[in-house]
Amino acid sequence: MSAPTIHGEVAPGFGPVADAFRRNFSRHGEIGAAVAVFAGDRPVVDLWAGYRDRRRTQPWEQDTIVPVFSSTKGMAAFVVATAVSKGVLDYEKPVADYWPEFAAQGKGAITVRQLIDHQAGLSGLDTVVKLPQLADMDGLAKILAAQKPAWQPGTRHGYHAITLGLYQGELVRRVDPQGRTLGRVFAEDIAKPLGLDFFIGLPADEPIERVAVLSATKGLDILRYERDLPLRIGAEVFLERGHSHAALTNPRCGAPARAARREFLGVESPGHGGVGNARSLAKVYGAAAARTGALPIADDLLDLLAAADTADDVPAEDLVLHTKSRYHLGFRKSRGSFRFGSDKRAYGTTGLGGSFGFADPSTGLGFGYTMNRLGMAVLDDVRSRNLREALLRCKV
């Protein structure tokens, strides 16, 4: 398959990223995608190409946005960091200090840090929750508070794929001086000042037509483009048992390939419901990496986000994803076989299907990648990896 016309701009020295982006179309089944890199507040890569639909009839435009699933978690983690920076939240204090009902089922000692670093054992819910219930925040808060941990909090970690954002959302709603939701805090305090085209809860006046349609990888495309298949996760989901099944199938939000619909995107789900573009991901991470002052987060706290993770006393094996990973203050860290950025200070979050955004404080770069063909790798989608490795070869 030949590569489509690549649109956008690349600064001198960043040509390898453009080359890798082009190869993703010709060799790795890309349908439509965008990649961006910001050096602080300056764009050095801003590219898009391909189509918004599998039939390849609707071009991917400069302002195309797309569901990014768990890449949303990074934006939610920045919102939590703004609350800490304002002094209304403390990573080391128990969640129950801010949300007394959370202490039920022996959760009184769980700290904010343990919760956002996936150590709380709350990766699944015993009560079945359907998509419309996510909009009833008061009712949802009761379900979340009543949940019993699946393991002893603070001793292990397991990816809280959907639930993390729900817990973060209620925590932010309780500590924000105006009682704002996490999505609203993000919109007003981060997205608007930085000029981001990214939403946690798509506004009713945003045209759904500019949201790219997602495409599941199936049939022969699996053999052509996928190598790192999550077989153990798939088995647990199929057999309806285990931590993977609990974390990935409830709340029941519908098939990922159907996420580009208002019913899903209009509801605030800070763990997996964001919609935006690569440019926005790169811009916010670039602001964090270079400490430009554009984010309402103190410099010392941005330094803390960039520090080495403090979870070395917790086994690296993820009980949900069945791979080794590290989390730090709501972000993934570059560790083990999953490397990104120039060193261990880098932090970010990946999204189901392949999207990714991260900050590289050692270089001052922010990276963002979005696409509409949903890959099947657990963490390290080959298309994202190609772009990240190309970035390391650039003359920064």
Percentage with pLDDT > 90 across the chain:
88
Instruction: Write out pLDDT tens, residues 189-238.
Output: 999 999 999 999 999 999 999 999 999 998 888 888 887 778 889 899 88
Q: How confident is the model at residue 269 (pLDDT cuts 50, 70, 90)?
A: very high
The CATH number, out of the four listed (3.30.1540.20, 3.40.50.880, 3.40.50.620, 3.40.710.10), of the domain defined by the range 1-395: 3.40.710.10
pTM of the model: 0.96
pLDDT the model gives residue 228? 77
Instruction: Write out pLDDT tens, residues 26-76.
Output: 999 999 999 999 999 999 999 999 999 999 999 999 999 999 999 999 999
Rounded to the nearest integer, the mean pLDDT of the chain is: 95
Per residue, the 3-state secondary structure of the chain, as one string, reads CCCCCCEEEECCCCHHHHHHHHHHHHHCCCCEEEEEEEECCEEEEEEEEEECCCCCCCECCCCCEEEEECCHHHHHHHHHHHHHHHCCCCCCCEHHHCCHHHHHHHCCCCEHHHHHCCCCCCCCCCCCCEHHHHHCHHHHHHHHHHCCCCCCCCCCECCCCCHHHHHHHHHHHHHCCCCCCHHHHHHHHHHHHHCCCEECCCCCCCCHHHECCCEECCCHHHHHHCCCCCHHHHHHHHHCCHHHHHHHHCCECCCHHHCCCHHHHCCCCCCCCEEECHHHHHHHHHHHHHCCCCCCCCHHHHHHHHCCCCCCCCCCEECCCCCECCEECCEEECECCECCCCCCCCEEEECCCCCEEEEECCCCEEEEEEECEECCCCCCCHHHHHHHHHHHCCCC
Residue 313 has pLDDT above 80, yes or no: no
Instruction: Write out pLDDT tens, residues 368-384.
Output: 999 999 999 888 999 99
- Mean pLDDT is highest, among 129-143, 303-317, 334-348, for 129-143
More confident residue, 312 or 123: 123
